[in-house]
Amino acid sequence: MSITLAELGETKLLERLARFAPPGQFSDDTALLTHDSRALLVNTDVMVEGVHFSDATTAPADVGWRAVVANLSDLAASGSVQVEGITVGLVAPGTTPWWWVEELYQGISEALERFGGTLLGGDCSTGNQRLLSISAFGRLGPLRLHRALARPGDLLMSSGPHGLSRLGLAILQDTPRPSPLSLPPALKEQAIRCHQRPWPRFDALQTLLACKPEQLPWRAGGTDSSDGLLAAVESLCRSSGCGAVLHRDALPRADAWPYEEAWDRWCLNGGEDFELVLSLPPEWAESWTLHQPESRCFGTITTDKGRIIWNDDGALLQPSGFSHYS
């Protein structure tokens, strides 16, 4: 029998969790973030079992990896070029086996090793439901990407394809897809990988920073597509007081992604894609397309506040309706 959290107790649990942090890091009440003068960004995200992840489809190491990536993706989409670290609030029932928590923190550590930063501290408590609340800290680079910085005339850009994570989930859960097409194995594998081990797009941010046309100021709108592509466009438009036209033919589909309306809905609303969704001046967008080949231009920002329409028939896109409460 594996030892449970109730059997370990809080002190021993924290001692075991401390092994995932630098030596001495857990021996105090707070963590020292920094002595240095570069601007620091913070992001807090909550992941709840049964809402954001399920024990049935997601191994605990993948839960840990994805929880870190969800946070780091927000940092990347705000212009952070270096990860300082994270704090983790862990809630789990006393009956939770230790191995589950250990594998969770192994996934957390793997993500930090891959993308930078350390486990700075945190807290744990018993509760009815397993959940993680992570705060992540990153250093700002030369560009403060911001949801409120989209401007009419900008092009809407994406760092990669959308809908893959949703497809990966359907494959893992063996639930229906938008249509019963047979899919190439490479697309299925890509979809499962995107669902289980997403990446924050620090790489795409770096090419964006490197390719800015000199005459342009450091101004761009940006967010990530953790809640889906359409939700990302909606949030850019809402924060910036703009509208958008989406180009149906140019939606950021994966290679071999079916061209059907039902599949377009997964591309728009699948969620958990963790790509950068940017609003860029046309010259910068063009330059980024050259330096970041998998980036896509899929629309334009307009003055038509709050309205997101299709380019071909002018039809209004239905709100994504993304909500953990629905």
Site string (79-118) toward its own copies, x via CB under 8 A = -x------xxxxx--x------------------------
Nearest alpha-carbon partner for 16 in 101, 83, 87: 101
Q: What angle do CA 203, 205, 210 make, to 5 degrees?
A: 100
Return the number of the residue (136 or 169) whose C-beta is nearest its own copies.
136
Ranges within 161-180 binding its own copies (CB under 8 A):
none
Listed in order, strand segments (DSSP E) in 73-177 are 80-91, 118-125, 131-140, 155-158
| Residue 28 per-residue DSSP state | S
Which amino acid belongs to residue 115? F
Residues in binding contact with its own copies, number by CB under 8 A: 72
Report helix, strand or coil for 196. Answer: helix
Instruction: Say how many C-beta atoms besides its own lie within 10 A of residue 290's C-beta.
Output: 10
Query: Which of 16, 144, 151, 193 touches its own copies (CB under 8 A)?
Result: 144
Query: Which of 113, 123, 189, 203 touches its own copies (CB under 8 A)?
Result: 123
Residue 198 beta carbon to its own copies: minimum distance, rounded to whole angstroms? 16
Query: Which of 16, 46, 177, 294 touches its own copies (CB under 8 A)?
Result: 46
Residue 189 beta carbon to its own copies: minimum distance, rounded to whole angstroms? 30
142 binds its own copies (CB under 8 A): no
75 binds its own copies (CB under 8 A): yes
The region of 179-187, 202-210, 266-274, 315-323 touching its own copies under the rule CB under 8 A is: 315-323
168, with CB counted inside 10 A (0-12, 13-18, 19+), is buried
Return the number of the residue (18 or 211) whose C-beta is nearest its own copies.
18
Return the number of the residue (174 or 324) whose C-beta is nearest its own copies.
324
The region of 69-77, 174-182, 187-195, 294-302 touching its own copies under the rule CB under 8 A is: 69-77
Return the number of the residue (148 or 181) whose C-beta is nearest its own copies.
148
Residue 267 beta carbon to its own copies: minimum distance, rounded to whole angstroms? 21
Helical H segments across 148-304, by residue range:
164-173, 185-196, 202-210, 229-240, 261-269, 282-291
Ranges within 197-226 binding its own copies (CB under 8 A):
223-224
Return the number of the residue (50 or 184) whose C-beta is nearest its own copies.
50
Nearest alpha-carbon partner for 130 in 172, 95, 85: 95
190 binds its own copies (CB under 8 A): no
2 binds its own copies (CB under 8 A): no
Half-sphere exposure (CA, 13 Å, Cβ side) for 325?
0
- Contact predicate 131/33, CB 8 Å: no
- Contact predicate 61/100, CB 8 Å: no
182 binds its own copies (CB under 8 A): no
- Contact predicate 42/241, CB 8 Å: no
Query: Which of 2, 27, 54, 303 touches its own copies (CB under 8 A)?
Result: 27
Instruction: Say how many C-beta atoms besides its own lie within 10 A of residue 179's C-beta.
Output: 10
Residue 290 beta carbon to its own copies: minimum distance, rounded to whole angstroms? 27
5 binds its own copies (CB under 8 A): yes
Dist CA 300 CA 219 (whole Å): 16
